[in-house]
């Protein structure tokens, strides 16, 4: 479930806001209003997008409107969106709202997440104590150290480093898949590109049934190397063309006949159609089966 955590100085319950965002012409009045309201809430307060939209629904504050305002705050660097993963899968989104864009620049990207911080003991009855998904969190500047590790991983902050960072290649066949960047990097790191290409083609084929996550399916295919599914209609059309080419070079005696039908090739004796057989185009090893049947009815088959 998404959470909104609000960080304030508990010893100063009054509202103190940075005046620069209020005077910023790049922010709409709606964004300034929601930003001011969220920063006025107590530290670690939890409030959901659904709750905000239910309160201000009659004033143009429906769910879509609230989402649009949050997107504007994210674009102007007053908030960030955090993807929350549960059991290795994408769960929901959390939002964190900040006093100014300069606050975000102070955060240093880290590689790991810390243990989750426990929320405040209780909320007053003003807002729901069990908010629905998609919640927003505000942070005060005096709590920069507390939020560095948790939030900075998701920030688009470019910092100079003495040691050049190693660029990890993501294979082309993985780029458009519905997977996280970390999962794509993991597959590209441990498997060869031709193995990944074949496994992705198998996992994404319409006839392949997946009972687990996509990354687990691709990993299994990389190790098991399953046979690629065959398009039945395409295979039948190819076999029909091959049968026509084969029969056109055959010598058919008078006592036998060969007819190319829509579903297969019919072979029999002219004196008794009851003894005829039909080799269907969808049969496994169709051409070899057809050759044996032609020979059995006295049809001369030229060697390939």
Per-residue pLDDT of the chain (304 residues; tens, 9 = 90+): 456 566 555 665 667 777 788 888 888 888 888 878 888 877 667 777 777 777 766 666 677 888 888 888 888 888 887 777 777 666 677 778 877 776 655 554 544 555 565 565 555 545 444 544 555 665 554 444 444 444 444 444 444 445 555 666 889 999 888 889 988 998 998 899 999 999 998 888 887 888 888 899 999 999 988 887 777 788 888 899 999 999 888 888 888 889 989 889 999 888 876 678 899 988 888 889 999 889 888 888 876 5
Give the CA dihedral 78, 66, 83, 81, nearest 10 degrees.
Answer: -10
Measuring CA to CA, how many Å separate 80 from each of 17, 29, 36, 70, 254? 19, 19, 16, 9, 83
pTM score, two decimals? 0.33
Q: Note whether 61 and 53 are within 8 A (CB).
A: yes
pLDDT value at residue 289 = 92
d(CA 235, CA 274): 29
d(CA 110, CA 151): 9
pLDDT value at residue 7 = 59
CATH numeric code, 19-154: 1.10.10
Q: Where are the domains of the chain?
A: 19-154, 172-224, 232-296
**Contact partners, residue 155, CB within 8 Å, separation at least 6:** 80, 104, 107, 109
* Count helices and strands in the chain by DSSP H and E runs: 11, 7
How is the beta sheet containing 256-260 ordered, strand by strand? 256-260, 264-269, 272-280
Backbone angles phi, psi at 207, to 5 degrees: -85, -5
pLDDT value at residue 153 = 40
d(CA 155, CA 137): 15
**Contact partners, residue 69, CB within 8 Å, separation at least 6:** 28, 30, 31, 34
- Are β-strands 135-139 and 264-269 bridged in parallel, bridged antiparallel, or unpaired? unpaired
Alpha helices by DSSP H, listed for 225-272, are: 232-248
């Amino acid at each position: 479930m998404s959470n909104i955590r609000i960080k304030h100085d508990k010893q100063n319950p009054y509202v103190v806001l940075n005046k620069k965002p209020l005077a910023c012409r790049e922010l709409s009045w709606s964004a300034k209003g929601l930003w001011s309201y969220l920063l006025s809430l107590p530290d670690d307060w939890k409030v959901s997008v659904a709750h905000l939209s239910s309160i201000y629904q009659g004033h143009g504050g429906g769910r879509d409107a609230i989402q649009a305002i949050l997107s504007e705050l994210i674009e102007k660097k007053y908030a960030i969106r955090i993807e929350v993963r549960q059991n290795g899968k994408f769960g929901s989104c959390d939002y964190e709202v900040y006093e100014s864009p300069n606050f975000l620049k102070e955060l240093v990207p880290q590689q790991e997440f810390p243990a989750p911080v426990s929320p405040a003991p209780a909320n007053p009855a003003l807002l729901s104590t069990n908010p629905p998904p998609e919640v927003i969190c505000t942070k005060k500047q005096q709590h920069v150290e507390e939020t560095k590790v948790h939030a900075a991983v998701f920030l688009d902050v470019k910092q100079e480093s003495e040691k050049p960072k190693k660029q990890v290649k993501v294979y082309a066949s993985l780029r458009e898949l519905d997977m996280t960047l970390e999962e794509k990097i993991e597959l590209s790191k441990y498997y060869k590109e031709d193995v990944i290409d074949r496994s992705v083609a198998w996992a994404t084929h319409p006839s392949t049934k997946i009972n687990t996550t996509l990354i687990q399916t691709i990993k299994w295919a990389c190790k098991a190397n399953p046979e690629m599914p065959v398009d039945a209609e395409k295979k039948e059309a190819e076999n029909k063309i091959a049968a026509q080419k084969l029969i056109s070079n055959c010598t058919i005696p008078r006592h036998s006949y060969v007819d190319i039908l829509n579903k297969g090739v019919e072979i029999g004796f002219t004196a008794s159609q009851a003894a005829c057989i039909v080799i269907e185009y969808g049969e496994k090893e169709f051409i070899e089966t057809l050759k044996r049947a032609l020979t059995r009815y006295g049809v001369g088959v030229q060697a390939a």
